[in-house]
Amino acid sequence: MVDYIVVGTGLAGIAFTEKLAQEGKTFIVIDSEERSSSLIAGGMYNPVVLKRFTDVWKVKEQLAIAEVFYPALEAKLQVKCWYPMSLYRRLASIEEQNNWFQAADRPNLSAFLAPEIEKKQLDGVDLSFGLGKVNATGYLETDELIPAYRQHLTQLGCYKKERFEYTALQYDAEGVTYKGIEAKYIVFAEGFGLLQNPFFNQLPLDGTKGELMIVKIPGLNCDFMLKAGVFLIPIGNDLYKLGATYNWEDKTDTPTPEGAAELIEGLKSFMDLDVEIVSHSAGVRPTVKDRRPLLGRSLESDRILVLNGLGTRGVLLAPYLAEQLYNYIENNTALNENISIHRYKKFKLKK
């Protein structure tokens, strides 16, 4: 018998599995590797919602955990994936400058938004109204981390690459059994695949398709992340990640001409340089209608749990939520109502 079965090796599954390893728990991890929005994510993290100038829920706690978690994981896997990097918000008008000054004065944002607007020059880029700097930012190279972690699990002999069959899961008061594997608990961290999960498919997961490009822009010479409607992340050799789109109707992983046009048009709205498209990918983010994560027990069994709904902020949320769920299971610590699935009427636990 193992302590846990974990389903999924996106950011949520990796963070929870790594928490189990830190605590000396035994586990088997299962993933079909068919769909993972984590793999095609830009991976950018920042503590502020720049569209509305609001702080992210519990962001200081998330940052404190993430800034230890990812470097430790890099060292363990011998892979480079964690890149702290400055982020600048392009300001497009006097009004946006004023909004920046007002936001930087707020007590909850002053630690993250620099009070002075900076003047920088980038060839071919309109920065007439300056840039606002955001602190405590960077990006995670998920397509380096995720394959390396799967390989690590394979070497440990605790990884099964296969599609999970829900009908093969049996459970009682003592634990769960799946194809001969006995465990005390099972945690589903499947991302958008949750909609096929009979234990949790009534949760209001509303996937949002995002498209991402790698583009080559010779002559830009930008060494910081830039947010200007679209975002640019420099990854070396004149290459940049360009993202991201938001489509609430299309639930496929297929890149579209419309998504490509939206990204390139967004870039060209403030930049006059030649752009070469190197690659174009798409994935469906596991977003929730109220923009809060999904953690908790199923109504069928307290041995069956979910860790999902990380949306666009999975890099910072994953390690934090992994700790919250672990303490909920092992230490009977209550989940904050903002992240518990039991905030929904259909998933209310009996008192």
Instruction: Return residue ranges of the chain for CATH 3.30.9.10.
Output: 84-138+207-285
Which residue bears the tokens 């840039």?
A: 131
Global model pTM greater than 0.85: yes
Q: What are the tens digits of pLDDT across the range 163-186?
A: 999 999 999 999 999 999 999 999
Fold of 84-138+207-285: D-Amino Acid Oxidase; Chain A, domain 2 (3.30.9)
pLDDT score at 38: 67
pLDDT score at 36: 64
How many residues are there in the chain? Answer: 351
Helices (DSSP H) in 139-256: which residue ranges? 142-156
Q: In a 10 Å sphere around its CB, with 0-12 CB exposed, 13-18 middle and 19+ buried, how is residue 112 labelled?
A: buried
| β pairing state of 2-7 and 181-188 | parallel
**Residues above pLDDT 70, as percent of the chain:** 97
What is the average per-residue pLDDT within 260-279?
A: 96
**Residues above pLDDT 90, as percent of the chain:** 86
What is the average per-residue pLDDT within 334-349?
A: 90
List the structure tokens of 346. 């259909």
38 within 8 A of 142, measured Cβ to Cβ: yes
pLDDT score at 348: 79
What is the average per-residue pLDDT within 111-125?
A: 95
Fold of 2-43+143-205+289-347: FAD/NAD(P)-binding domain (3.50.50)
Which DSSP state fits 247? Answer: B
* pLDDT at residue 351 is higher than 60: no
3-state secondary structure of 38: helix
What is the average per-residue pLDDT within 274-294?
A: 92
Q: What are the tens digits of pLDDT across the range 297-306?
A: 999 999 999 9
Instruction: Return residue ranges of the chain for CATH 3.50.50.60.
Output: 2-43+143-205+289-347
Q: What are the tens digits of pLDDT across the range 206-226?
A: 888 999 999 999 999 999 999
214 within 8 A of 241, measured Cβ to Cβ: yes
* pLDDT at residue 59 is higher than 80: yes
Q: Among candidates 105, 62, 41, which has minimal Cα distance to 242?
A: 41
pLDDT band at 350 (very low <50, low <70, confident <90, very high): low
What is the average per-residue pLDDT within 125-148?
A: 96
Which residue bears the tokens 């993202």?
A: 243
Residue 42 main-chain phi, psi, to 5 deg: -65, -30
The dihedral through the CA atoms of 189, 194, 199, 204 has a sign that is positive
Side chain identity at 45, as an amino acid letter? Y
pLDDT score at 347: 83
What is the C-alpha to C-alpha distance for residues 163 and 135, in angstroms, rounded to an integer? 40
